[in-house]
C-alpha cells in the first residue's frame, strides 16, 4: 500500500464501541428470531437442540479465540480472514478464503432482504413471504440505499449501525421478560419428546440438523476481524470479537430454551416466519407478534448495513494485496471503496432476481451462506494451529500458555471440520460452483500484476479439486439429483 492509500484510511478509523456495533449488527440479524422454528422444522427435538447449542458454543468459542489470538499475534495482517489464509497456505488459498467469505456475506444480505419483507408482510400482506415481485423491488431499494449510505463514509455508516444494533436488542429483551413475567415456561412441554419419537430421526442426525442454523446465527462474529484495517487499535478487534460472542451466545440460549418451554417441537416447526413473533403472540396476544416483527425489521435493516460495510471492504482489501483487480482499490472522497461496493451490491441484486424467479426462501440462501463460510473458518483456525505448532510468535510464551493456545487452535480446527462434515457433500458440491468464478478473477488480477497464476503445486491441485467438484455438481443439478434453489 502506498503512502497516499495509507493516509486515506485515517479518516475512517473505528473505535471499540463501533467495532462492537459491527459484531452485534452483523451477527444478530434474522437468526435469533427464527432459530426456534428452524431447528424444529429440521427435525431437531429439545435434547438435540441443547446438545447442538453446546457443541456450537464450545466450537464457536474455539474459533472466536483463534480470531482473538490471530488479531493479537499477527497485528500486521489487517485483511482478516483473507490475510490469515494467505500467510498460512499461499496466495491462491488465501484468495479462495476471501472469495468464499465474500460470497457468504453477499448471500447473507440476500437472505436478510427476503426475511425483512416477510416480516413486513405481517403488517402489509401484499409482501407475502418476502419473495414476490413487490418484495424484491423494495428489497432492491433497501440494498441500494445501504450502498449509498456506506458511500458517505464507513465510519459514519458504522455509527448508524451501532444505534440500530442497540435497538434490535429491545424486542429480544421484551420477549425474555414477557415469558418470565407471564410464567409461560412449562417444564412439561420442555421435556415432551425430549429425544424425539421412537423410530424418528436418530439423535446424531438431529444434532447435525442444528448445524446450519447455529452457524447461520453466528456468521458475522468475525466482523471486527474482517475490517480490522479500519480499527483505531488492534487490541480493540480482539475485545469486540470475544465480548460480542459471549453476549450473543447468552441471548441465543435464552431464546431457544424459553421457546421450547412454550410450544412443542411440532408446534414450533409449523410456525410462519419469524417464529419468535408467534411464540410471543401465544403468550401475550397480537401486540407481542407486532413487537417482534418490528424488531425483525429493525434488526435486518441493521444487519444489511453491517454486511454492506463488510462486503465492500473485502474486495478492497483483496485488491490491495494484489489478488483482486486494481480497480477495486479505488476510494471516493469519503474513503469508501466505491468500486468494491458497486460490484458487491450488483451481485446481490442478481441473487435477488434469482430469488423471485425461483420463489426461493431465505432459508435456502442462509444455508448456502453458511456453506460458503466453512472453508474460510477452517483455514483461519488451521493457520493459528500452524503458528502454535511451529512456535511462530510463541517464542517467549510459557509452556502453559502454548498448551492453552494449542487446545484453542485444535478446538477451532476440529469444530470447522465438524461443520463441513455435518453440512454434507451436497452443499459442498454446490459451493464449488460459486468458487469457480473466483479463479477467473484471481487469474486476471495475477496477470494484471505480472505474477504467475499458481505459485505452489498444492495451489494447482486445489484448483483441480474445485473444478472437478463444480463439474460434478453441474451434472447432478442438470439431472435433478440436487437442487440448489
Quote the number of domains for the chain.
Answer: 1
* 357 part of a folded domain: yes
* 300 part of a folded domain: yes
* 385 part of a folded domain: yes
Query: Residues 243-247: contacts with CB within 8 Å, 24+ apart?
Result: 243/20, 244/20, 244/23, 244/24, 244/27, 245/23, 245/60, 245/61, 245/64, 245/218, 245/221, 247/24
Question: What is the grid cell recorded at 121?
Answer: 408482510
How large is the average pLDDT for residues 85-111?
88
**pLDDT tens sequence across 359-413:** 666 667 777 887 888 888 899 999 999 999 999 888 888 889 899 999 999 999 9
Question: What is the grid cell recorded at 389?
Answer: 505448532
**pLDDT tens sequence across 316-355:** 888 887 778 888 888 888 888 899 889 889 988 998 888 8
**pLDDT tens sequence across 413-444:** 998 898 888 777 787 888 889 899 989 888 98
* 485 part of a folded domain: no
How large is the average pLDDT for residues 72-82?
76
Q: What is the CATH number of the domain that holds 330?
A: 1.20.1740.10
Range of the domain at 88: 3-420
**pLDDT tens sequence across 168-219:** 778 888 888 888 888 888 888 888 767 766 556 777 888 877 876 777 777 7
* 45 part of a folded domain: yes
* 143 part of a folded domain: yes
Q: Is residue 193 helix, strand or coil?
A: coil
Residue with cell 447468552: 250
* 175 part of a folded domain: yes
What pLDDT does 200 receive? Answer: 65
* 483 part of a folded domain: no
Share of residues in the chain with pLDDT > 70 (%): 89
Separation in Å, CA 409 to CA 5, 80, 318, 388:
34, 16, 25, 8
Query: How many helices (H) and strands (E) in the chain?
Result: 21, 0
**pLDDT tens sequence across 237-279:** 778 877 878 888 888 888 888 888 888 888 888 888 788 889 9
Q: Is residue 297 helix, strand or coil?
A: helix
Amino acid at each position: 500500500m502506498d503512502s497516499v492509500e495509507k493516509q486515506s484510511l485515517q479518516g475512517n478509523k473505528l473505535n471499540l464501541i463501533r467495532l462492537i456495533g459491527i459484531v452485534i449488527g452483523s451477527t444478530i440479524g434474522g437468526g435469533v428470531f427464527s432459530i426456534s422454528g428452524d431447528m424444529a422444522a429440521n427435525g431437531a427435538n429439545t435434547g438435540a437442540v441443547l446438545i447442538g447449542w453446546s457443541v456450537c458454543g464450545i466450537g464457536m468459542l474455539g474459533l472466536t479465540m483463534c480470531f482473538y489470538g490471530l488479531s493479537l499475534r499477527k497485528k500486521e495482517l489487517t485483511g482478516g480472514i483473507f490475510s490469515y489464509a494467505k500467510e498460512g497456505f499461499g496466495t491462491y488459498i488465501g484468495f479462495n478464503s476471501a472469495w468464499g467469505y465474500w460470497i457468504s456475506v453477499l448471500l447473507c444480505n440476500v437472505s436478510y432482504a427476503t426475511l425483512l419483507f416477510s416480516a413486513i408482510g405481517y403488517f402489509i400482506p401484499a409482501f407475502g413471504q418476502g419473495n414476490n415481485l413487490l418484495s424484491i423491488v423494495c428489497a432492491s431499494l433497501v440494498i441500494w440505499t445501504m450502498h449509498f449510505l456506506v458511500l458517505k463514509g464507513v465510519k459514519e455508516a458504522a455509527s448508524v449501525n451501532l444505534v440500530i444494533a442497540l435497538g434490535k436488542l429491545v424486542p429480544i429483551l421484551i420477549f425474555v421478560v414477557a415469558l418470565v413475567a407471564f410464567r409461560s415456561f412449562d417444564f412439561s412441554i420442555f421435556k415432551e419428546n425430549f429425544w424425539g419419537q421412537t423410530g424418528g430421526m436418530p439423535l446424531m442426525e438431529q444434532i447435525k440438523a442444528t448445524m446450519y442454523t447455529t452457524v447461520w446465527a453466528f456468521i458475522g462474529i468475525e466482523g471486527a476481524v474482517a475490517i480490522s484495517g479500519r480499527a483505531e487499535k488492534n487490541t480493540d478487534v480482539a475485545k469486540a470479537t470475544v465480548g460480542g460472542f459471549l453476549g450473543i451466545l447468552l441471548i441465543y440460549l435464552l431464546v431457544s430454551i424459553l421457546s421450547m418451554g412454550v410450544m412443542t417441537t411440532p408446534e414450533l416447526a409449523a410456525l410462519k416466519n419469524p417464529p419468535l413473533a408467534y411464540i410471543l403472540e401465544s403468550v401475550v396476544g397480537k401486540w407481542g407478534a407486532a413487537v417482534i416483527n418490528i424488531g425483525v425489521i429493525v434488526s435486518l435493516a441493521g444487519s444489511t448495513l453491517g454486511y454492506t460495510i463488510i462486503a465492500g471492504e473485502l474486495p478492497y482489501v483483496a485488491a490491495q494485496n494484489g489478488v483482486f483487480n486494481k480497480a477495486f482499490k479505488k476510494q471516493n472522497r469519503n474513503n469508501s471503496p466505491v468500486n468494491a461496493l458497486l460490484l458487491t451490491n450488483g451481485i446481490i441484486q442478481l441473487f435477488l432476481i434469482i430469488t423471485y424467479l425461483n420463489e426461493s426462501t431465505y432459508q435456502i440462501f442462509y444455508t448456502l451462506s453458511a456453506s460458503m463460510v466453512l472453508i474460510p473458518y477452517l483455514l483461519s483456525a488451521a493457520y493459528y494451529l500452524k503458528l502454535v505448532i511451529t512456535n511462530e510468535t510463541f517464542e517467549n510464551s510459557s509452556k502453559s500458555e502454548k498448551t492453552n493456545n494449542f487446545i484453542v487452535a485444535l478446538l477451532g480446527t476440529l469444530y470447522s471440520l465438524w461443520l463441513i462434515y455435518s453440512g454434507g457433500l451436497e452443499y459442498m458440491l454446490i459451493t464449488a460452483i460459486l468458487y469457480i468464478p473466483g479463479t477467473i478473477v484471481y487469474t486476471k488480477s495475477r496477470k494484471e500484476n505480472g505474477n504467475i497464476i499458481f505459485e505452489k503445486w498444492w495451489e494447482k491441485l486445489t484448483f483441480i479439486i474445485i473444478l472437478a467438484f463444480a463439474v460434478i455438481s453441474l451434472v447432478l443439478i442438470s439431472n435433478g439429483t440436487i437442487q440448489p434453489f
